Structure 1
Amino acid sequence: MTDLKYLIGYPDPITAQVHQLIDNNKLGETLLKRYPAAHTIRTDKALYAYTVDIKNASLKQSQPLSKVIYDDKIKDLHHALGLHTFISRVQGSKHKAKNEIRVASLFKNVPLEFLRMIVVHELAHLKEKDHNKSFYKLCEHMEPSYHRFEFDLRLYLTHIDLFGRLY
Structure 2
Amino acid sequence: MLVRKIPLRRMPSLSNMVKMMDYNLVRSKRKTLALYVRQDGSLEVRAPLKTSKGYIEDFIKQKQDWITATRSKLSDRQETKKTVQISAADAARYKKQAKEYLQLKCRYYSELMGLRPSAVRINSAKTRWGSCNGKGEINFTFRLIFAPEELIDYVVVHELAHLKEMNHSSSFWAVVEQTMPDYRERRKRLREHQHQFEFIVT
TM, length-normalised to structure 1: 0.59
Q: 1:51 aligns with which of 77, 83, 106?
A: 106
Deviation at 1:46, TM superposition (A): 2.7
CA contact (8 A) 2:147 2:193 kept: no
**1:103 corresponding residue in structure 2:** 140
Counterpart of 1:86 in structure 2 is 134
Shift of 1:8: 5.1
How much does 1:150 deviate? Answer: 0.7
> What secondary structure is seen at the aligned counterpart in 1 of 2:196?
helix
Equivalent residue, structure 1, for 2:158:
121
The 1-side partners of 2:151 and 2:185 are apart by 10
Q: Whose Rg is larger?
A: 2
Task: Write out aligned runs for 1:14-163 (5 A).
Answer: 42-57=97-112, 59-60=113-114, 62=115, 64-72=116-124, 74-75=125-126, 77=127, 80-87=128-135, 99-160=136-197
Question: Which one-letter code corresponds to 1:55 in the other structure?
Answer: S
Code of the residue aligned with 1:54 in structure 2: it is Y
| TM-aligned CA deviation for residue 102 of structure 1 | 0.6
Q: Moved runs in structure 1, 4+ residues, more than 6 A?
A: 25-28
- Percent identity at matched positions? 24
Secondary structure of the corresponding residue to residue 42 of structure 1: helix
How far the C-alpha of 1:26 sits from its partner, in A, is: 9.8
Structure with the higher helix share, 1 or 2: 1
Which letter maps to 2:130? G
Per-residue displacement from partner, 1:88-143 (whole Å, max 9, x unpaired)? xxxxxxxxxxx211111210211011111111110010111111011111111111
Name the TM-score, length of structure 2 as normaliser: 0.49
| Deviation sequence 1:3-31 (CA, Å, 0-9, x none) | xx4x656xxxxxxxxx7xx79x9999xxx
In structure 1, stretches of 5+ residues that fail to align are 10-18, 29-40, 88-98
CA–CA separation in structure 2 for the residues paired with 1:159 and 1:146: 20
Whose strand fraction is larger, Structure 1's or Structure 2's?
Answer: 2
| Matched-pair contact (CA < 8 Å) for 1:48–1:67 | no
